[in-house]
Amino acid sequence: MTGRAPRSPQGVDALQSNLGHFFRDQSLLRQALTHPSAAVEEGRGRLMSYERLEFLGDAVLHFHIADLLFDCFPTEDEGVLSRLRAYWASEGVQAETAKALGVDRCIYLGAGEERDGGAGKERILASALEALFGALYIDGGQKACGKLVAALWKGPIRQSGLEVLSRDAKTALQERRQARGKPLPEYRTEAGAGGFVSTVLLEGKPAGEGRGSTRKAAEQAAAKAALTTLA
């Protein structure tokens, strides 16, 4: 491989081992791990970054998570299944999964993104994970993708059951607003001491405030506070 080195010399091999799939076409794996900033710096252009594979992988991942949920919750309706899929396919869950696989240790970043700690950003990790599923679909087919989704998600899904629906306060607040024909919530989130502070606005008025170590956690806390007020 050319270009910027992985964050760990053994990162790519360890990642493939964790995926349970060693790519026949290593260029696909390299592309799935290449942030647009790195592709541009290397003179290869954004088309050689993970963005196109991310587009494909998003569909692949959502399909297999939906398939898994359909089997795990045979008595739940479409609304519950949709909310469950929204949680398990969310940026935060994808980022955690990517980190557990070791994506943060082998992603290729441009110099600026490297300095900014891009390997730890949820958005980048989630995008790279979706790109990996796009690459896996091309290299190994649907069966390999389904096997990986089951390995990564089936245990947590069965263990958590419907409990995750109460954790996803943002979705619950949005659905409540939609059901009443009201404008969707807006979030004002800023970095603060030790994390982030978020205020959720309903029709332009503050309705709840939350703090968290990440932007997502702060917004979830703000949404939960607003739901408590509305109850």
Of 51, 104, 122, 130, the active-site residue reads 130
Check if the beta carbon of residue 33 is closer than 8 Å to that of residue 107. Answer: yes
Q: Is residue 58 flagged as an active site residue? A: yes
pLDDT score, position 24: 96
| Strands lying side by side in the sheet with 186-192 | 186-192, 195-202, 205-212
Q: Is residue 130 flagged as an active site residue? A: yes
DSSP state of 150: I
pLDDT score, position 1: 37
Q: Which two tokens stand for residue 140?
A: 């190994």
Q: What is the pTM assigned to this prediction?
A: 0.74
Q: Return phi, psi of residue 110, to 5°.
A: -70, 165
DSSP state of 34: B
Residues in the chain: 231
Closest to 189 in 3D by CA, of 171, 170, 165: 170
What residue ranges define each of the domains in the chain, with the CATH number in brackets? 11-160 (1.10.1520.10), 169-230 (3.30.160.20)
| Pairing status of strand 195-202 against strand 186-192 | antiparallel
Pairs from 173-181 (Cβ < 8 Å, separation ≥ 24):
173/200, 173/223, 173/226, 173/227, 173/230, 175/83, 176/227, 176/230, 177/202
For 77, 121, 125, the CA distances from 98, given in Å and listed in that order, are 29, 11, 6
Query: One digit per residue, pLDDT tens: the chain, 231 residues?
Result: 334 444 554 689 999 999 999 999 999 999 999 999 999 888 887 888 999 999 999 999 999 999 999 999 999 998 889 889 988 998 889 999 999 999 999 999 999 898 888 889 989 999 999 999 999 999 999 999 999 999 999 999 999 998 888 777 888 888 788 878 889 999 999 997 778 999 999 999 999 999 988 888 899 899 988 887 775
Of 58, 113, 122, 168, the active-site residue reads 58
